[in-house]
Structure 1
Amino acid sequence: MPTAFRLRAPVVLPCDPGCPALRDAVLDVDETGRITHVGPAADAPDAGDAPVRDCTGILLPGLVNAHAHSPMTVLRGMGGDLPLLRWLHEVIWPAEARLTPADIGAGMLLGSVEMLRAGVTTSTEMYFHGEELAGAVLASGARLVATMGIIDAPGWDWRKMLAGVDAWIDADGLRSGPGERIEVGYGPHAAYTLPPEALTMVGAAARSRGALVHIHVAESAGEDTTQRGRYGSVPAMLDRLGLLGGRVLAAHAVHLSDADIELFATHGVAVAHCPGSNAKLASGIARVLDLRAAGVPVGLGTDGPASNDDLDLWEDMRLAALFARLSTMDSAALGAADALLMATRGGAEALGRDDIGVLEPGRWADIVHVDVDDPAFVGGLDVPDEQLVANLVWAAGSRRVRDVWVAGEQVVAAGEPTRVDRAEVQRAAGAVTRRLLT
């Protein structure tokens, strides 16, 4: 069980709007794993008997991966030079058909460890066999939003899959586990892999339970020609079928019109922007600036480790800013602070969560400590806030993550997981990959 403690650091980035830095600051965590105070050390309350740990670098919120298929760590590198639809039909779906529940657990555990070591404390997963997903994440100590896959494909019954999500939420509630580490939601794969009736039913089931709907939308130009021909666009289709409304997260959302963006803004639909995967699969560049200008919440996602091919959200921060600048030919279009906020505060907002993504009282103590003994910080920490954040995002990234806490529990120390043996986790996942290649 977590115990109350205090962290003190030269810099704390709470990830408030504008991303200001707190200098010589402390962060207090109570015995339940929630933050009770964040602010300059000079103004801090008495720590009492709580132990105080001095951190040498920067503290910031745990990153929020808004879209992933992390069990696919065992499929990494397969079909890596194919376009999306060929990659799915010819390589990935046949390989996934051979995965056992245990295989999925092994892949998820490896993905969870990989993310934690990069400072990603929450991942939003669209996959199957929820018991294995939850078990793996609870083993690593991370946080999971399990949006269970629902698809109409050979070997899968979408009605049973939908009923399974209903039953899980009705039995355990939306959130469960220590530190509310597990949230359950609905993961209808896409408009082109489900009948219209299924999308309507998913929307109704999710709204009645206050649950998240997480769906691929307009990822590539050629994936949903039939649906676009009938309805005009995928967002228009989802609106007419009653899927929009409530908590809806659209993954990718690359090929959107002005009307689509307006529809998202009207219904409060959020977007998980996945620049690395979108680029690797040549899906296109999402209209991130237009989405943000319209008031659409935008978080960042890695997508699966077979299509990115890593789970390093820092890389996607940089790519999001680079592509926004290239697509507009404006070097100031999206700054380092914007990218960092999309990976933290923005990810939480995209999920409809107000308990993660920011270091402030009342939220879970999901915290990342970044060591600054690195050429990225050659100027030290006494530089202007804008330069400090730029060095963190553009130059340092995940390689300097040293310690991570989730709900007040330290789950990474000196760069290594505290709960599991990384070598054993890698060995187990590797055995799955080798079997799939035979």
Structure 2
Amino acid sequence: MSLRLRAPVVLPCDPACSVLRDAVVDIDAAGRIVHCGPAATAPTATGPVRELTGILLPGLVNAHAHSPMTVLRGMGGDLPLMRWLTEVIWPAEARLRPEDVHAGMVLGSVEMLRAGVTTSAEMYFHGDEVVRAVLDTGARVVIAPAIIDAPGWDWRTMLAETSAWIDADGLRFGPGGRIEIGYGPHSAYTLAPEALTEVGAAARERGALVHIHVAESLPEDVAQRERYGSVPALLHQAGLFGGRVLAAHAVHLSDADIALLAANRVSVAHCPGSNTKLASGIARLRDLRAAGIAVGLGTDGPASNDDLDLWEDVRLAAMLARVSTMDSMVVGAADVLLLATRGGADALHRDDIGAVEPGRWADLVHVSVDDPAFAAGLDVPDQQLIANLVWAAGSRTVGDVWVAGDQVLADREPTRVDRGEAQARAGKVTARLLAPA
């Protein structure tokens, strides 16, 4: 059945970040948007009409996450990146069972939906369990199963398994096209160049996304930088570029690196919360955008951020860009709102999510204005309205969420799973991991 949503304000997140007053969004039976515009000029509704208060906008896109790590939250929280990984996280992950990943992803998905995040780009193990969890909650995911060369892991087997999965099920599948499969080579410091070459070739053959950590912190890839000059240079020489590539973090880049990413249409997932918590550095957001690179925002994992509230990263991205350039106008509220929506879709090389436009999936978020952030209501100038949403409101104002036209969050609670049960299941996994081996 088709559905019309009518709201006092609709933010379609078009390139101009327009504000539509008293507008409607029409959704067809397949879950796609067929119309968005002022109510006064809208076509006659062909199905039910739901009247909303507040603001309707596209679902946020979390461009880089390891959401099953909800079960690892708080572990090694005061360590730098490489010690955190090698001393705490990787040993704990070695003890995870497939069902643990499912429990962690269900909780992570619920947490994101409550923040208005409808799509997340995940890199993790047991990708089938990640998919099962997302289908349970009704969210959307781009899962890039991790590929790593480390004790207990065989990168060739992991690569072959991902290729076989895509060949069997297709690049995208599931109700409302909720699932996309990509490749998740962990990094240039956990995979040899020949492995990166093979991953790039397999992904290009299938038109799949390559999701990889790039230049996150200075201590992580010293040997690679010494031999190749930089991580992007290594990836370019290894033949990883040339298709759909998403570079997560991309903190420590030279001008030449940025130009190389731009020339190869490599996109970036900017993760300001994780990068500051782990003292990894501040990505050059202004310069990345000036180079024409598609930039989205990511939370990273809930054990390194330590939450999946992308609104926090929206604000932090703007603040870090301003303080690092000493320019309060370098990134505005509308700019970072677009980074979290349309920009996230662009970073994933997708044109079917991230905006309220005909043809895109009806992934939508209803924000309440019954909050101190909107004390003056909606009758304020457009620029002020967006500023209040970005700087003052955030996830606490998210009330309802639709994915492909299906309501998956109602009055801040998931409609398909029980939040209390999800929290309890994940908590039991954490308790087992903390118990003496």
Into which bin does the TM-score normalised by the smaller protein fall? over 0.9
CA RMSD, aligned part only?
0.5
**Aligned residue number for residue 346 of structure 2:** 349
**Aligned residue number for residue 17 of structure 2:** 19
Give distance in 1, aligned partners of 2:198 and 2:243. Answer: 14
**Aligned residue number for residue 200 of structure 2:** 203
**Aligned residue number for residue 193 of structure 1:** 190
User: How far has the Cα of 1:18 moved from its partner?
Assistant: 2.2
| Structure 2 counterpart of 1:216, one-letter code | H
Q: Does 1:328 align with 2:325?
A: yes
User: How far has the Cα of 1:225 moved from its partner?
Assistant: 0.6
Give distance in 2, aligned partners of 1:429 and 1:272. Answer: 27
Q: Does 1:304 align with 2:305?
A: no
**Aligned residue number for residue 258 of structure 2:** 261
Residues 37-436 of structure 1: pairs in structure 2 closer than 5 A: 37-48=35-46, 50-436=47-433
SS in 2 for 1:277: helix
SS in 1 for 2:142: strand
Give distance in 1, aligned partners of 2:58 and 2:188. Answer: 34
**Aligned residue number for residue 30 of structure 1:** 28
CA deviations on 1:325-350 (whole Å, 9 max, x unpaired) are: 00001111111111100000000000
Question: Alignment identity in percent?
Answer: 77
| Structure 1 counterpart of 2:31, one-letter code | G
Give distance in 2, aligned partners of 1:391 and 1:352. Answer: 29
CA deviations on 1:83-103 (whole Å, 9 max, x unpaired) are: 000000000000000000000
Give distance in 1, aligned partners of 2:101 and 2:259. Answer: 38
Give distance in 1, aligned partners of 2:421 and 2:280. Answer: 36
| Structure 1 counterpart of 2:123, one-letter code | M
Give distance in 1, aligned partners of 2:3 and 2:114. Answer: 22
**Aligned residue number for residue 5 of structure 2:** 7
Give distance in 2, aligned partners of 1:57 and 1:304. Answer: 31
In structure 1, runs of 5+ residues without a counterpart are: none
User: How far has the Cα of 1:385 moved from its partner?
Assistant: 1.0
User: How far has the Cα of 1:382 moved from its partner?
Assistant: 1.4
CA deviations on 1:114-149 (whole Å, 9 max, x unpaired) are: 000110000000001111000000000000100110
The TM-score, its normalising length taken from structure 1, stands at 0.99
User: How far has the Cα of 1:276 moved from its partner?
Assistant: 0.1
SS in 1 for 2:369: coil
| Structure 2 counterpart of 1:336, one-letter code | A
SS in 2 for 1:221: coil
| Structure 1 counterpart of 2:262, one-letter code | A
CA deviations on 1:181-225 (whole Å, 9 max, x unpaired) are: 000000000000001110000000000100000000000011101
Give distance in 2, aligned partners of 1:17 and 1:180. Answer: 24
**Which contiguous aligned blocks of 4+ residues in structure 1 show a shift greater than 6 angstroms?**
none
CA deviations on 1:222-254 (whole Å, 9 max, x unpaired) are: 110100011000000000010011100000000
| Structure 2 counterpart of 1:367, one-letter code | L
CA deviations on 1:336-385 (whole Å, 9 max, x unpaired) are: 11110000000000001000000010000000000000110111111111
| Structure 2 counterpart of 1:103, one-letter code | D
Give distance in 1, aligned partners of 2:383 and 2:243. Answer: 36
User: How far has the Cα of 1:72 moved from its partner?
Assistant: 0.2
Give distance in 1, aligned partners of 2:141 and 2:235. Answer: 26
User: How far has the Cα of 1:404 moved from its partner?
Assistant: 0.1
